[in-house]
Chains A and B, each alone.
Chain A
Amino acid sequence: MRADILVFPGSNCDVDTEIALREALPGWQVTRQWHDGADLSGSQFCVLPGGFAHGDYLRAGALAARSPAIEGVRALIARGGLVLGICNGFQVLVEAGILPGAFQANTVQHFICRDVALRVERAASPFLDAFAAGDVLTLPIAHQEGNYRLTEDEYRRLKDEGRIAFTYCGPHGETAGDYNPNGSYASVAGVLAEGGRVLGMMPHPERAAWPAIGRTDGLRILAAGLMAAMQGGTL
């Protein structure tokens, strides 16, 4: 079984992600592939990591989303593989049209780097198998353009289809009050593509994968995804 991390010029969470994936489910071959010439044909799981792909020129994720490597991602999705976009990787998936919406600068007008509480909105995705709806996780965010925009219609559709994965919340899962760090529509922090096998999320699971730092919720997300990809079998 092979998991691939796509590396663009400006990606900077690819090594952390590689180490966390190895920790999450030993026995997988984990490779980082440079975007130019990347071959995902032998892959069951692909991560688009955090960073500033192509300098985030034009718009965050816009240039990476049009690169040939994304065709490989689309092919992997088409044959049932799992894809995880983390932070800038989420922005790339949105710019590619694989996930809906758009990103804007945080309403607070500056970069935010801190832990946030997240409520699991839906547990019926391979990535969320380890959780129940309503569970509260703690993961770090680190972004300048994390203000996720959806139209009201898009939001309702995602909600009706069970495709809201996470929302920002308070320590006990409450959404009332000022727990939305970046201005995202309806506090949405992560969404799923149809079928739940593509997850985009602004928080960084690879930075919450270590008991030594007191944070392991991210490891559980990565492990659940890898486990599901393995059970997907005949990819």
Chain B
Amino acid sequence: MPEYRAQLGVRLRSGVLDPAGQAVGHALRDLGFSARDVAVGKLIELTVDAASLELAEAEVRRMAAELLVNPVLEDFDLEIAPR
């Protein structure tokens, strides 16, 4: 069975308060940088076995829906490729 490596970038939906982003932005400005609109997200990487790229992507999207992403607060983008 072919292996596929997936990367999910999980970020807070726009408009959702991001206390971690705010805190990091504040620290960057304290250091003298001009950073603003700082957002802190998560990167999740995993390998799946699947018969095709399409099936692999479908399975990872199910993982996102069932556990990895909270759709109330979060969005994600997915990159997936044969390993």
Contacts and interface: CB of A to CB of B under 8 A. Distances in A.
A105 interface: yes
The majority secondary structure among interface residues of chain A is: loop
Nearest to B20: A105
Contact of B19 (A58, A66, A109, A149): A109
B68 interface: yes
Query: Most chain-B CB neighbours within 10 Å: which of A58, A63, A107?
Result: A58
B23 A149 contact: no
A227 B31 CA distance: 57
A66 B16 contact: no
A183 B17 CA distance: 10
Contacts of B20: 105
A101 B70 contact: no
Contacts, number: 30
Interface residues of A, number: 16
A188 B6 CA distance: 38
A77 B65 CA distance: 24
B73 interface: yes
Contacts of A106: 19
Contacts of A101: 72
Contacts of B70: 59, 62, 95, 102
B67 A109 contact: no
B17 A104 contact: yes
Interface of A: 58-59, 62-63, 66, 95, 101-102, 104-107, 109, 147, 149, 183
Interface of B: 16-17, 19-20, 22-23, 42, 66-68, 70, 72-73
The 8 A-B pairs of least Cβ separation, nearest first, read A102-B72, A105-B19, A109-B19, A109-B23, A102-B73, A102-B70, A59-B70, A66-B67
